[in-house]
């Protein structure tokens, strides 16, 4: 029997947190993984973990908010491996600002990475996958896209845009056998989650951080937070194992927080 073809994946924001876990799980499944991040040292740590599992890796240190960089990152992976089977748009940014004190600097930084860079990477990968007549793209969204968050409005709006882009891309690429879906993690113990909640506690004048975090966790119907490894498993499932009739869908890993 012919051995199954190795899948070629690119993961943005893969220097740590969820992105690192996704990349490592792909490597464990025998995929070649392009690790993309602005943090070169973190990206190399992820690549090393992938290599320990026998995975072939490519490290691409890039600021995806710069014009043309998302496209060049995709091109680098294609040049290395002759194609691309999986794109995971995981890179993201969010910061706390009260609604009436929001700045255009925060909006520009949030939208440039969470929306524009994601869309440009998706389109570049989509063109490659259109020619291949196959491929799977997973965008990381958030329950925030469906919530009223007056301290986190730029982030929430950016993730609502990700939902819209996911649906549009799924329809645009469906005739070519390319599937586009999203995953919405709830509260995870990542650096971004921790820094966001520290800022939120400060803005709300909460000095007892443990009590504040416990209150937030109790908002989750399942009563607990999710591990990045569990969310990464959902991403890998969509990329490698999900039926090929699933597209334009959103897989919620929010413990019921996103229940609408």
Coil, strand or helix: which one is 20? helix
Instruction: Pick out the chain residues at pLDDT < 50.
Output: 1-3
C-alpha span between 212 and 214 (Å, rounded)? 5
Where are the chain's structural domains? 8-186+227-253, 187-225
Q: What is the pLDDT of residue 185?
A: 96
C-alpha span between 245 and 136 (Å, rounded)? 12
C-alpha span between 166 and 180 (Å, rounded)? 6
Q: What is the pLDDT of residue 148?
A: 94
Q: What is the pLDDT of residue 260?
A: 59
Q: What is the pLDDT of residue 1?
A: 35
Residue 150: closest CA among 204, 227, 224: 204
Q: What is the pLDDT of residue 259?
A: 73
User: Residue 13 carries which DSSP code?
Assistant: S
Which CATH number does the domain 8-186+227-253 belong to among 3.40.50.300, 3.40.50.720, 3.40.640.10, 3.65.10.10? Answer: 3.40.50.720
What is the Cα 182 distance to its own chain's centre? 8
Start-to-end Cα distance in the chain: 46
Reported as a single tens digit per residue, the pLDDT across 179-207 is 999 999 999 988 888 899 999 999 999 99
Reported as a single tens digit per residue, the pLDDT across 63-107 is 999 999 999 999 999 999 999 999 999 999 999 999 999 999 999
| Active-site residue flag, 155 | yes
Q: What is the pLDDT of residue 5?
A: 80
Residue 170: closest CA among 120, 126, 201, 204: 126
- Counting beta carbons within 10 angstroms of the beta carbon of residue 52, is it exposed (0 to 12), middle (13 to 18) or buried (19 or more)? exposed
Q: What is the pLDDT of residue 4?
A: 52
Q: What is the pLDDT of residue 139?
A: 99
Out of 93, 151, 152, 155, pick the active-site residue. 155
């Amino acid at each position: 029997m012919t051995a199954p073809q190795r899948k070629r994946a690119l993961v943005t924001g893969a220097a740590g947190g969820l992105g690192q876990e996704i990349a490592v799980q792909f490597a464990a499944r025998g995929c070649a993984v392009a690790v993309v991040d602005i943090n070169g040292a973190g990206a190399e740590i992820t690549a090393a973990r992938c290599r320990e599992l026998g995975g072939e890796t490519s490290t691409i240190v890039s600021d995806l908010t710069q014009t043309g960089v998302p496209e060049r990152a995709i091109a680098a992976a294609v040049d290395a491996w002759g194609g691309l089977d999986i794109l995971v748009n995981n890179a993201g940014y969010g910061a706390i600002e009260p609604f009436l004190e929001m700045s255009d600097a925060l909006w520009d930084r949030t939208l440039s990475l969470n929306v524009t860079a994601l869309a440009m990477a998706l389109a570049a990968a989509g063109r490659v996958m259109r020619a291949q007549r196959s491929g799977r793209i997973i965008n990381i969204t958030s329950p925030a896209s469906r919530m009223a968050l007056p301290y986190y409005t730029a982030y929430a709006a950016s993730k609502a845009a990700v939902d819209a882009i996911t649906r549009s891309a799924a329809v645009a690429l469906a005739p070519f056998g390319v599937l586009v879906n999203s995953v919405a993690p709830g509260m995870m113990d990542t650096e971004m989650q921790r820094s966001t909640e520290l800022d939120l506690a400060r803005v709300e004048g909460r000095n007892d951080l443990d009590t504040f975090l416990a209150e937030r966790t109790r908002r989750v119907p399942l009563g607990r937070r999710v591990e990045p490894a569990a969310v990464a498993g959902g991403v890998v499932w969509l990329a490698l194992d999900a039926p090929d009739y699933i597209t334009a869908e959103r897989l919620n890993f929010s413990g019921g927080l996103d229940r609408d």
